[in-house]
């Protein structure tokens, strides 16, 4: 684009709360044919809340909540914050806290190992999930994220956690489809929960159970199929994928790392602004030819 067109595009963007960090971002933005959205904090508001608890046979809700909170008291994860909001002040904190990237957290209380996290973490820990399979399936089918709690190899229960979809997510996806852009969702959350949210939003491609270190690889796979890929994210775990994508969009309310890794910053944290950015970009390119 001519310097004049870039200047106009940049200033139109700035007025709409869309920060193009460099001129190539405008040109690349007009060419995107697959837009990949992170789920938590991008398509959803990222303020998860516990909506249900279920206790395994032989245990109590008080026990479940206290054990989970003793581990999550050490964690910064939004799901940990949801569990702590439910538990109230934590009476006893676990020792030897460890984070299992993208799967959950672990600790030790009274010499016994506690795990708080997803089914992969439980399976790795040798915990039998069968007592709660049907409860989990029902909750995940409803779009809830299920967080299991175990002590040694004993399943104590689970938390069902909900995170509201941003009001503009659905219309953003419809507008991308109207421009013939394919839409994908990428998440560390499980397949069943992801499929439910994707179905609600009309998403074409679901990439679930993706570990933080694998998000950029998934972008690379789409690029290898010949697509020009946009990626929209908010978290530290999205940063490598934002860099790998042809165009990285950071949610303005997201982490500094995501903002630094992106080509475009959506200051209003509105997923619909990716469409506005594409419109401004196409207009700018038309002025150039």
We find the least distance from the C-beta atom of residue 40 to Mg ion, in angstroms, to be: 4
Edge-to-edge strand ranges of the sheet holding 104-109? 49-55, 154-162, 145-151, 112-117, 104-109, 95-100
CA pair distance 189, 208, nearest whole angstrom:
6
Tell me: does residue 189 bind ligand ADP (CB under 6 A): yes
Tell me: does residue 105 bind ligand ADP (CB under 6 A): yes
We find the least distance from the C-beta atom of residue 42 to ligand ADP, in angstroms, to be: 8
Tell me: does residue 145 bind Mg ion (CB under 5 A): no
Nearest C-alpha neighbor of 186 from the set 144, 145, 216, 141: 216
Tell me: does residue 102 bind Mg ion (CB under 5 A): no
Stretch that binds ligand ADP, among 21-29, 86-94, 112-120, 218-226 (CB under 6 A): 112-120
Tell me: does residue 40 bind Mg ion (CB under 5 A): yes
Please identify which residue in 9, 41, 143, 272 interacts with Mg ion, judged by CB under 5 A. 41
Tell me: does residue 143 bind Mg ion (CB under 5 A): no
Stretch that binds Mg ion, among 35-43, 54-62, 157-165, 273-281 (CB under 5 A): 35-43
CA pair distance 118, 40, nearest whole angstrom:
15
Burial class (CB in 10 A: 0-12, 13-18, 19+), 135: middle
Chain residue at closest Cβ approach to ligand ADP: 188
Residue 199: CB atoms within 10 A of its CB come to 11
- For residues 169 and 271, is the Cβ–Cβ distance under 8 A? yes
Residues annotated as part of the active site? 38
Tell me: does residue 163 bind Mg ion (CB under 5 A): no
């Amino acid at each position: 684009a001519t310097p004049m067109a870039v200047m106009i595009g940049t200033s139109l963007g700035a007025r709409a709360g869309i920060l193009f960090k460099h001129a190539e971002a405008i040109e690349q933005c007009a060419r995107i044919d697959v837009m990949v959205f992170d789920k938590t904090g991008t398509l959803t508001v990222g303020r998860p809340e516990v909506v249900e608890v279920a206790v395994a046979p032989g245990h109590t809700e008080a026990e479940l909540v206290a054990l989970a909170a003793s581990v999550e008291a050490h964690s910064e994860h939004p799901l940990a914050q949801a569990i702590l909001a439910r538990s109230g002040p934590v009476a006893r904190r676990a020792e030897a806290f460890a984070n299992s990237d993208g799967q959950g957290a672990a600790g030790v209380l009274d010499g016994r190992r506690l795990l708080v996290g997803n089914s992969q973490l439980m399976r790795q820990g040798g915990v039998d999930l069968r007592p709660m399979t049907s409860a989990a399936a029902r909750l995940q089918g409803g779009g809830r994220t299920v967080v299991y709690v175990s002590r040694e190899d004993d399943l104590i229960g689970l938390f069902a956690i909900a995170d509201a979809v941003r009001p503009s997510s659905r219309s953003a996806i419809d507008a991308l489809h109207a421009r013939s852009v394919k839409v994908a969702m990428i998440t560390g959350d499980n397949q069943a929960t992801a499929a439910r949210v994707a179905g609600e939003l009309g998403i074409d491609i679901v990439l679930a159970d993706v570990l933080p270190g694998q998000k950029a690889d998934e972008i690379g796979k789409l690029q290898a199929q010949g697509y020009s890929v946009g990626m929209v994210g908010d978290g530290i775990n999205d940063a490598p994928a934002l860099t790998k994508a042809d165009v990285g969009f950071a949610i303005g309310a997201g982490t500094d790392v995501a903002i630094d890794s992106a080509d475009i910053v959506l200051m209003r944290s509105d997923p619909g602004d990716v469409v506005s950015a594409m419109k401004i970009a196409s207009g700018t390119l038309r002025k150039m030819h």
